[in-house]
Structure 1
Amino acid sequence: MRLVFADHEPHLKPNPRRDHMSGVPELSYSTLDRHGGRVLAPGQVMRTAGQSAPVGTIYRYDRLLVDESVIHDSETREQLEKAIRPTGMLMESQAARSIVPGQGSYRVPVLSNHGDQAAVDAWSLLQRLRTMNDETSLSGEILDKVRLEHLMICSKGNPGVSGGEPPVADSRAFGLGRIPVDMVNPMPSRKQLDRRLRVAVLDTGVPNRHPAFDVSDRTEDEDTFVVVDHAFQAKLGEHSDSPAAPLDDPWEGPVHEPTLIGEVASHYGHGTFMAGLLRQISPDVQLYSLRVVHNDGLAYEHEVIAALHHVADQVEAVRRGDSEAFGVDMVVLAMGYVDESPDDQPGGWIGEAVHRLAGLGIPVVAAAGNQSSDRPFYPAAFAAHSQVENAAPVLSVGALNPNRHIAMFSNEGPWVSCYATGAGLVSTYPCEAKGSRMPDRRAKSSILNRHRESHDPDDFSSGFAVWSGTSFAAPLAAAFLLNAITDLGVTEVDDAIQASARAHEALKRLKSR
């Protein structure tokens, strides 16, 4: 395995001939309905006169992201509510609060019908607000503070399969589907260290028990490989505004989606697989697991933003001398979205959260996406955006096949920083995962008290699996960078400048190998 860097600095390059739906993942109707999601297809939606047509994305149709300055100022909030009222929709923001006080800078107002005047749709509402020309019109300053909330998709598996797995035997499949395997090699031992590098992984979580690693809560102050945060998860659950099950527990689950089929959920085990890759390549680090992704692979933009600010708050608290804080040295993200802006320049607050971490000297390593597209996939594509002075790097990571060629499913483009192996990887998987798919053949053994059978495609009791995706290239790239930082011998840093310099020096050494 190796890390292959682009031979240029990441940058955004407009593509006027791009398919407007390029990069938009295919999701089943039931998955969209579970999260109140809707696909923005440029030819099927209202658009503002005189403005460029949007490009495709996926958003929550009855939610908006609104800057807290609008909500907290009674006069401004009244202006917004007054402007919305003629559209036939109402804004019910009183139930939505910031998950991270003081740093979220957004609220999630709920939109609802008012009579039969209009269907609830956040995109249509935004277009109407921009075209109003009467006493209810809003200023551009206020309009810039009201945006869509995107549904973010985890970057695993195979594109074009509507949330399912490709047939393992189908040679035409872009990626190799998740299948159970056994691990022959033991996990590398961990050294006893006074100070470990710590990496935050924002994903589907990890099981509370797995033979490959131990787990504890951050309040227990134990030197386990995985540390979870019950307090953060409880807060996330408390403020949940979704019809889907709240992410109020750090452990992955349930195993199956709420259907009658009984198959293992499409992204169940995703966070465990990422954790296992880090455990294999960089065993002496500590993983801080925050669960922000549902088991069907979807995450809400505002919850991801909240988790990023939560991590940044902890870093700042550590540097102020707070002994209770839990700082990190790196952040890994495997989810993202394509923005509706025709110039691929996203608005909103997720960029602010990523840039805040980089400004604190914390590298952010993000998966480039699995849509076989060159369209910028955010937050990975923030690697192509300019950073403040002395900021740590933001890396966007595409996937390689084992033969070092770019995987067919991987996104690529001038905004991708580097590529790591992301196809046919072996890593940890929750042992309790067992689905309804059966072996092709099964018979009773004539000698032992067990069955003879062909490979069971979804019995993961071995605790390991083969899987593919840029989701898994990202933690590998992060592990290489963590190991390079370790080789520098600089485990303690006092401020953002030192932390950023350490990250850039480690990255420079990786590129020179």
Structure 2
Amino acid sequence: MFDQQARLERLLARHRDAVVVEPAAGRPALVRRDQILVAGHDAPAAEDLVRRWYDSRHDECGVTRLRLRAPAKVDVCELAARLGGDGRHRRLSVSPNHLVHGQPLWWSGPADLPRPAPPVPRPRTAPDAGRRRAVTVAVLDTGLAPHPWYEHAGWYAEQDDEAAEVLDADLDFELDAQAGHGTFVAGVVLRHAPDARLLARRVIGGDGVGDELDVIRGLAWLAARGGADVVNLSLGCHTFDDRPSPVLARAIAALGRRTAVVACAGNAGGDRPFWPAALKPVIGVAALDAAGTDRAWFSNYGWWVDACAPGVDVASSYVRFDGPRPRMNGADPDRFQGYATWSGTSFAAPAVAGRIAGVAAAEGVDAVTAADRVLDPAARPTLPDLGVIIRS
């Protein structure tokens, strides 16, 4: 078991505007201090209500970020609850700016760290690939690093600077905690949909941490490009009140009804809703154990989970990096040559996203129809609180 308190302390040291909140005992969340997010149409009303604590306003992507004056010491969770309304029906679309995390790790995780692996066979394109429907999968994550599986593909050449992995942001000569996460996720997608065209955007850092606004920016960027057939979000968070963030929910809804959105269920090992996986329009994916027959010990579960897929010792594409650790038992534990094995619901989700993309391409249907077929409980086995079983 990893020292989660030490990991949390490192996160808070790196993100000095982050704070742990726990309105209900035993149900913590992480938010940006002195920030609230408001849907654009609600911004004037919210700004007027917070004027006594107000510092500044920033508008982008249909969302307004209101910064509050630090000396006021405003509880942003209490404020968001008051602005949103006391009942079940929210009056304004307001949320604290929650931190989101990639999901090989979290307080009660992690599943594990990546381990160097021998080369994995390149995904084979279908013989009739040229006649299949073209399918685009968006991977909003840590970005992409060059890899033999796709570095000569036309879609990879079209990626911009915001798609590049940052491997060692703190310059300590070691890989950041989740560097390579997006590259790994992309490989899982391609193993199930070799002909897919990927669109990548960096929305979390190499430490695996971002926030709601970062994800909303990525979703808005994707919508501006015309969207994608499938979106994979191997990240998420618990919210302060265990309800969905209305501003993030609106950003996902803006992608339209023809887009299948897939998100990981999280690695807290419990049934507390994890967002955005628990949103109704989103396909939440839990992780199966190494045998593929039951829940992985770290995986979340619950009524809100739609599917499960292998999430232990998954093999995929990874970055090239040689860290400073010495060889042990004849092996170099931090020398990566483009391949790794890793565990987490982060890597179960793209297996489902890839399967949906593969069916859409092979059968010439839209992604939502493909998702209905992939997740049909009448055609596939299911597990309680884990949904439909998707095996490799």
TM-score range, shorter chain: 0.7 to 0.9
What corresponds to 1:335 in structure 2?
235
Question: After the TM superposition, which residues 226-241 of structure 1 pair with which residues of structure 2 at under 5 Å, given as runs?
Answer: 226=156, 229-230=159-160
Cα deviation code 1:286-326 (max 9, x no counterpart): 111111011111121012123223323433xxxxxxxxxxx
The amino acid across from 1:97 in the alignment is D
| 8 Å CA contact retained: 1:410, 1:470 | yes
| 8 Å CA contact retained: 2:232, 2:261 | yes
- The answer to whether the aligner puts 1:508 opposite 2:384 as a matched pair is no
What corresponds to 1:271 in structure 2?
182
Distance in 1 of aligned mates of 2:308 and 2:89: 40
- Which of 11, 19, 38 aligns to 1:38? It is 19
Q: Classify 1:109/1:313 alpha carbon distance in 2 versus 1 (closer, same or farther; 3 Å).
A: same
The amino acid across from 1:309 in the alignment is A
Q: Secondary structure at the match of 1:508?
A: coil
What corresponds to 1:149 in structure 2?
97
Q: Classify 1:124/1:25 alpha carbon distance in 2 versus 1 (closer, same or farther; 3 Å).
A: farther
What corresponds to 1:395 in structure 2?
283
Q: Which runs of 5+ in 1 are unaligned?
A: 1-23, 44-52, 132-139, 162-173, 216-222, 231-247, 316-326, 388-393, 442-453, 494-498
- Which of 342, 345, 355 aligns to 1:470? It is 345
What corresponds to 2:325 in structure 1?
437
Q: Secondary structure at the match of 2:287?
A: strand
Q: Classify 1:129/1:69 alpha carbon distance in 2 versus 1 (closer, same or farther; 3 Å).
A: closer
TM-score when normalising by structure 1: 0.65
Q: Classify 1:268/1:80 alpha carbon distance in 2 versus 1 (closer, same or farther; 3 Å).
A: same
- The answer to whether the aligner puts 1:459 opposite 2:335 as a matched pair is yes
CA apart distance, 1:124: 5.7
Q: Classify 1:186/1:361 alpha carbon distance in 2 versus 1 (closer, same or farther; 3 Å).
A: closer
Q: Which runs of 5+ in 2 are unaligned?
A: 382-392
Q: Classify 1:332/1:510 alpha carbon distance in 2 versus 1 (closer, same or farther; 3 Å).
A: farther
- The answer to whether the aligner puts 1:123 opposite 2:77 as a matched pair is yes
| 8 Å CA contact retained: 1:420, 1:476 | yes
What corresponds to 2:9 in structure 1?
29
Q: Secondary structure at the match of 1:463?
A: strand
What corresponds to 1:201 in structure 2?
139
Question: After the TM superposition, which residues 272-421 of structure 1 pair with which residues of structure 2 at under 5 Å, given as runs?
Answer: 272-315=183-226, 327-341=227-241, 344-357=242-255, 359-382=256-279, 385=280, 394-404=282-292, 405-421=294-310
- Which of 224, 228, 240 aligns to 2:154? It is 224
Q: Classify 1:424/1:181 alpha carbon distance in 2 versus 1 (closer, same or farther; 3 Å).
A: same
Cα deviation code 1:442-496 (max 9, x no counterpart): xxxxxxxxxxxx2111111x21011011100011111122222233234xx6xxx
- Which of 48, 52, 55 aligns to 1:79? It is 48
The amino acid across from 1:340 in the alignment is F
Q: Classify 1:296/1:128 alpha carbon distance in 2 versus 1 (closer, same or farther; 3 Å).
A: same
- Which of 87, 91, 98 aligns to 2:55? It is 91
Distance in 2 of aligned mates of 1:197 and 1:489: 9
CA apart distance, 1:79: 2.5
| 8 Å CA contact retained: 2:56, 2:67 | yes
The amino acid across from 1:455 in the alignment is A
Distance in 2 of aligned mates of 1:328 and 1:229: 14
Q: Superposition RMSD on alpha carbons, in Å?
A: 3.3
The amino acid across from 1:226 in the alignment is Y
What corresponds to 1:68 in structure 2?
40
| 8 Å CA contact retained: 1:401, 1:421 | yes
- Which of 167, 170, 177 aligns to 1:258? It is 170
| 8 Å CA contact retained: 1:91, 1:110 | yes
| 8 Å CA contact retained: 2:356, 2:370 | no
CA apart distance, 1:376: 0.7
CA apart distance, 1:229: 4.4
Q: Classify 1:111/1:141 alpha carbon distance in 2 versus 1 (closer, same or farther; 3 Å).
A: farther
Q: Secondary structure at the match of 1:380?
A: coil
What corresponds to 2:65 in structure 1?
108
What corresponds to 1:242 in structure 2?
none
Q: Secondary structure at the match of 2:246?
A: coil
What corresponds to 1:135 in structure 2?
none
What corresponds to 2:387 in structure 1?
none
Distance in 1 of aligned mates of 2:73 and 2:243: 28
What corresponds to 1:240 in structure 2?
none
Distance in 2 of aligned mates of 1:181 and 1:436: 18
CA apart distance, 1:349: 1.4
Q: Secondary structure at the match of 1:289?
A: strand
Q: Secondary structure at the match of 2:99?
A: strand
What corresponds to 1:134 in structure 2?
none
Question: After the TM superposition, which residues 470-509 of structure 1 pair with which residues of structure 2 at under 5 Å, given as runs?
Answer: 470-490=345-365, 500-508=368-376
What corresponds to 1:165 in structure 2?
none
| 8 Å CA contact retained: 1:369, 1:470 | yes
Matched residue pairs, number? Answer: 373
Distance in 1 of aligned mates of 2:254 and 2:59: 21
Between structures 1 and 2, the one with greater strand share: 2
Distance in 2 of aligned mates of 1:141 and 1:373: 27
